[in-house]
Amino acid sequence: MQTPAATAPAGTVPAPALPPVVPPGRMAGRPQPVLDLPGPFHLRPWTPYDAPALVESCHDPEIRHWNRTPVPTPAGAEERIARWQERWHAEAAAVWAVAPSGGGLPVGLIGVADLDLPGGSGEILYWLLPAGRGTGVMAGATARVSSWAFDGLGLHRLRITHSVANPASCRVAEKAGFPLEGTMRGALLHADGWHDEHLHARLSTDGPVPA
């Protein structure tokens, strides 16, 4: 037996569709910017010449423990970097290298993934190689990318998620102005089993991003 399709009551007007929070073309129509940071680092787009740093990250025990990224070959690393560039133009993600301002290979990565421009949201992700750890650069990088996402792109909400067993990532989120909203149980599978995850978030209406 088929159920009749639902129809709007006679005389009613369908609700108008909401406009997108961020209009299409705001990323694809412009080059990915270089973002300045205080101190010796800045954020720039990845290039094929950065492939050795990406390969190193996939061999680093700390990064591999918290990320399920396969170890690429140098050619595979270049392909992944090319996909990041494609995802910028597809308005699906924005990924930067954390690199010395005077030149040189990256010491880390930060990006906004899972971009939903119509809904105005995205998720910040990051990692650091040993050369960048202990410098405090990631909290500043997270705050800088947040400013770009809110003020430059026009997003409404950004989130950060991480295993509850990763206090370093928690400190970065809190220093960058992302308060803890709650804990998601059994949210991500790591090599040692299912991990609960912390959910941090920040809204564009929360005031200035910490410097």
Cα–Cα distance for residue pair 55/101, rounded to 1 Å: 21
The pLDDT, as a whole number, for residue 3 is 47
206 SS3 class: helix
Q: 44-58, 139-153, 154-168, 197-211: which range is least confident on average?
A: 197-211
pLDDT at 51 over 70: yes
The band of 12, judged by pLDDT with boundaries at 50, 70 and 90, is low
Task: Indicate the domain borders of the chain.
Answer: 35-156
The band of 190, judged by pLDDT with boundaries at 50, 70 and 90, is confident
The band of 153, judged by pLDDT with boundaries at 50, 70 and 90, is very high
The band of 22, judged by pLDDT with boundaries at 50, 70 and 90, is very high
- Using alpha carbons, select from 97, 162, 75 the residue that is nearest to residue 124: 162
- 67 or 7, higher pLDDT: 67
pLDDT at 106 over 50: yes
Mean pLDDT of 49-53: 97
The pLDDT, as a whole number, for residue 193 is 92
Cα–Cα distance for residue pair 131/186, rounded to 1 Å: 32
- Using alpha carbons, select from 83, 79, 92, 82 the residue that is nearest to residue 28: 92
- Using alpha carbons, select from 142, 140, 115, 114 the residue that is nearest to residue 126: 142
| The two three-digit tokens of residue 207, written as one number | 């005031």
The pLDDT, as a whole number, for residue 70 is 76
Indicate whether this model's pTM tops 0.85: yes
Mean pLDDT of 7-34: 83
- Confirm if 67 and 190 have CB atoms less than 8 A apart: no
Please, what CATH class does the domain formed by 35-156 belong to?
A: alpha beta
Q: 68-72, 83-87, 172-176, 182-186: which range is least confident on average?
A: 68-72
- Confirm if 138 and 129 have CB atoms less than 8 A apart: no
Buried b (16+ CB within 10 A) or exposed e, 13-36: eeeeeeeebbeeeebeeeebeebe
User: Roughly what angle, to the nearest 10 degrees, separates helices 167-175 and 137-147?
Assistant: 50
